[in-house]
Chains A and B, each alone.
Chain A
Amino acid sequence: MNIVLTINGIRRELTIDPGETLLHLLRRVGYKGVKKGCETGDCGACAVLLDDRAVNSCLVLAAKADGHEIVTIEGLAQWGKEDEIYPIGQAWDDELHPIQRAFLDAGAVQCGYCTPGMMISAADLLAHNPNPTEREIKEAIAGNLCRCTGYVKQIEAISKAAEIIRGLHE
């Protein structure tokens, strides 16, 4: 069957198998930043934004994405810049989303396999709540398992990214 969806701002017409998951489709058409960790919705490595909310793409049938907008890690920086997700006059002056920059600077990336999904969850959080408490950050990424970092620096990075985004508002 055929579906039409927008991936990272680009309209795509794609042929899919009826039983195909969004994770499988996205990786098949080249979005390899979407990671496969369990295929049962438990690890969050495959998280993408579906109409601006984070979902585990392994639990979404590709057919369900018909007519919707998908943002993967490959499109994260651009999503924030162009779509007025954050009510800011000017976007960040960087090729990276503030969350990506903060993850880099904080040392929040070790192996980097959970990182795309974790940052997608963080992007969802900060788009809806630019001033989260530590508890809210932890809740937002509770579905993104990481075995390398112990989460300490990831929580710090998301908090720092929130600060940067709030700074842009002012």
Chain B
Amino acid sequence: MSKGDFYVVGKSLPKVDGISLVTGKPRFVADIELPGMLYAKILTSPHPHARIVGIDTSKAEKLPGVASVLTHDNTPHTRYTTAGQGYPEPSPYDTMMFDSKVRFVGDRVAAVAAENEQVADEALRLIRVDYAPIPEIISPDDAIAAGAPVIHDERDARGIHDARHNIAASVDIATGDVGAGFSESDVVVETTCETQYAQHVPLEPHVCLSWLDEDGRLVIRTSTQVPFHVRRIVAHVLNLPVGKIRVIKPRIGGAFGTKQEIVLEDLAGLFTLRTGRPVLLELTRKEEFVSSRTRHPMRVRVKLGAKKNGTLHAIEMEALSNTGAYGTHGLTVLSNVGSKTLPLYNKADNVHFFGKAVYTNLPVAGAYRGYGAPQGYFPLETAMDELAERLGIDPLVLRRRNHIQTGETSPIFERLGEGREGVAQTIKSCALDRCIEAGAERIGWTDKRGKRHMEGKTAYGIGMSIHMQGSGIPYIDMGAATIKMNEDGSFNLLLGATDLGTGSDTILAQIAAEVLGVPLSKMIVYSSDTDRTPFDVGAYASSTTYVSGQAVEQAAKKIRGQIISVASAMLGEDMEGLILADEHVIGEGKSVSLAEVCRHALYESDQFQPAATASYFPRETAPPFMASFAEVAVDTETGAVGVVRYVAAVDCGTAINPRLAEGQVEGAVVNGIGYALTEEMLLSKHGRVQNPSLFDYKIPCALDIPPIDVILVESHEPTGPMGAKSIAEIGINAPIPTIANAVYDAVGIRLSKTPFTPERVLQAIRKAK
């Protein structure tokens, strides 16, 4: 089907939840209040590494208004991972609700539920904790040094790669022979880059509200990307049957990976079980910075070998990832440093990827948009730029000569998956050449590249980089959708897929409406609720459009079959000739409205409920691709780097809703610009976060953004719903290497440590002189 043939898909329709959001309707977790609701607060560790020798909660318990106090002494000692991933999770079970040992400043020590927040805070101050400090580890290099203290010395942890040496996870895969590959290469370049502790900063911090329903079941209304994983993990931690828990995801105030973690739900749930009362638990912004999740800081080394003609021959990539105090997502993020980058350059026959994720007594890293790919692309795309210079080839030409194309494969797909072997596959759509061309034209590449110019003390330059990501995780993810028809011709679309602000409710409804030949207004969308919607792994790994979208498409096709069958009887015509369009089933000369069809089905003859559920289990992933360009201005006196213009050309397959697709890329690019230039969690020498506020941790504001052009370069992905691929993450991979390469073009220095603050840039400029 070509783009022009679509009825609802391909149109920039307003979001189905848009009106309620612009009018401020109470749709978020904390927008409802329940009678008798308690407020919970968490006491966290002031020490980076210590044993808890004793906790005295007696004064807190006696404080009027305190309903319950939880500590290691009265809570389950079950090991689990906070990572909301497919089961069994590839993350180690190294976490306990309340452990007898704390492993970072901000780790859980105790919690209180009280009649109001003031009493809860007061009760926390009355809890006396005796700590026996242990020497802390605040750098990944120290973590793996001989004689380092062991962070996870507990006997009951499971799935840690090498606990005695603080190694949470390890990966080592190869294809060909890199040693021979480098000796056969004409040119070899090597780059090492370091990335910082950075945080997601959804405008709504983690929050959840739990209560018991009329039947005594535990209901958890929570700001999560993974309601079904929340249900499973909370059931495991609290030793409840899954059927005793209902998880509701209302509207979510942004997530970006940090809500792919079960950070609060176990606590609120246990308080509700203990007290029988509703419990609200929300993190303050400071607590969000200190105790929730971050991106994995990494040091990644890339070595490239190429032939004189510019063909890559060997790639070696080595990553040292800091997973912080717990190993959540440690293995899979580490894997993705290679698996989401190396297949892009499939002309290299000899590839070696290896690395470790190590524990430190620092904040806990977890899932974050891009999921390892940004950390890998920084050195990879910097090294490609260096290689182009060494070879005397235009960076565009070098990338074109080496990137993967439609019909091609990479052995990496099979060798390296999400913490285990991957899945062999062939690329079925890749419009990267067109992305490079369109982006280069828009930024004026030919006129500007390599022609650095100064205006006063400001140097201007341009740079680029190319990227891929995935669309879901093959042979692991699964999404399901249910569609139910009503007698006015409307449809309930019940989605396990979790809209966290992305607009997935809207684009999934567009897919269903397209199949059913109805306007978007006929789709009544509900997501997600473990009691009422079918299973979906959740919103992560760029899976929703591609994986959940196909579940929706198939459910819609099933119900379309039922509609045609009823209409065939009503019209007295063969099913084969009937089509659905404009809310009617149209036959030869005669038609019947969908409302009439449903009334017939519900009330008139051989009654049944027209409804269908479909699941989609991906056997491959369809990578989106992107070419990214930036023009920068470098103040050579202060070292300040400004982005003057940004162009992102993205191959998204069919854009189901172009405006929402552009919005995904724009948001990811700006998030990436913050990651490149300003955002950094500053840590004291004892591992305390020193800038836990939005005043001191600088995310971009409207004044910080350059003109950003997003170019959607459409292709057709034959395995995707309506030809679509997912593009929620890819945009964040690009700003760091794109800006770094542009800074090189401007001032001739290679930046290797993010963020590119004025101090770092100025130091690099001075060092080069």
Contact = CB atoms under 8 A, between A and B. Distances in A.
A and B associate:
yes
Interface of A: 31-40, 42-43, 45, 72-74, 77, 96, 100, 103-107, 109-116, 119, 137-139, 141-155
B285 A40 contact: yes
B28 A107 contact: no
A113 B203 contact: yes
Closest 9 CB pairs of A and B: A33-B24, A111-B501, A113-B253, A112-B21, A107-B659, A150-B670, A73-B24, A150-B666, A42-B694
Nearest to A107: B659
Interface residues on B, range: 35 or more
Contact of B503 (A39, A106, A110, A142): A110
Contacts of A96: 19, 22-23
B414 interface: no
Nearest to B207: A36
B708 A150 contact: yes
A111 B253 contact: yes
B23 A73 contact: yes
Nearest to B673: A150
Contacts of A138: 702-703, 705
Contacts of B23: 33, 73-74, 77, 96, 100
Contact of B24 (A34, A37, A39, A142): A34
A66 B580 CA distance: 60
B660 A107 contact: yes
A151 B12 contact: no
A74 B205 CA distance: 22
A138 to B, nearest CB: 4
A98 B18 CA distance: 14
Contacts of A35: 28, 203-204, 253
Contacts of A141: 701-702
Contacts of A103: 18, 22
A154 B702 contact: yes
A40 B670 contact: no
Contacts of B30: 36
Given A35-B203, A105-B14, A115-B21, A152 B285 contact: no
A88 B659 CA distance: 32
A36 B22 CA distance: 16
B667 interface: yes
B643 interface: no
Contacts of A39: 284-285
28 contacts: A32-B28, A35-B203, A37-B204, A72-B24, A73-B23, A103-B18, A103-B22, A104-B14, A105-B14, A107-B14, A110-B502, A111-B203, A112-B22, A112-B27, A112-B251, A113-B28, A116-B24, A137-B702, A138-B702, A138-B703, A144-B701, A145-B694, A147-B203, A148-B663, A150-B667, A150-B669, A151-B666, A152-B663
Contacts, number: 172
Nearest to A108: B663
Contacts of B669: 150
Interface string B666-695: 111111000000000000000000000111
A43 B202 CA distance: 11
Nearest to B695: A42
Contacts of B31: 32
Nearest to A153: B663
Most buried by B among A33, A100, A107: A107
A72 to B, nearest CB: 7
Contact of A111 (B202, B666, B670): B202
B24 A32 contact: yes
The residue in A32, A42, A147 that gathers the most chain B C-beta atoms within 10 A of its C-beta is A147
B256 interface: yes
Given A40-B695, A103-B22, A151-B701, 18 more contacts: A32-B25, A33-B26, A37-B285, A43-B694, A100-B23, A107-B15, A107-B663, A109-B22, A110-B503, A110-B663, A110-B667, A111-B203, A113-B203, A142-B701, A145-B201, A150-B666, A150-B670, A151-B705
Interface string B645-669: 0000000000001011011001111
Interface string B93-131: 000000000000000000000000000000000000000
A6 to B, nearest CB: 18
B662 A107 contact: yes
Given A145-B701, A153-B666, A111 B252 contact: yes
Contact of B22 (A104, A111, A113, A150): A104
B6 to A, nearest CB: 18
Contacts of A107: 12, 14-15, 503, 657, 659-660, 662-663
Contacts of A74: 23-24
A153 B203 contact: no
A35 B25 CA distance: 11
Contacts of B204: 35, 37, 111, 113
A149 B667 contact: yes
Contact of A109 (B12, B18, B26): B18
A147 B702 contact: no
Question: Quick one: which of A36, A77, A145 has the most chain B CB within 10 A?
Answer: A36
Interface in B470-529: 500-503
B22 A100 contact: yes
A40 B22 CA distance: 24
A143 B25 CA distance: 22
B203 A114 contact: yes
A145 to B, nearest CB: 6
- Among A73, A103, A143, A151, the most chain B Cβ lie within 10 Å of the Cβ of A151
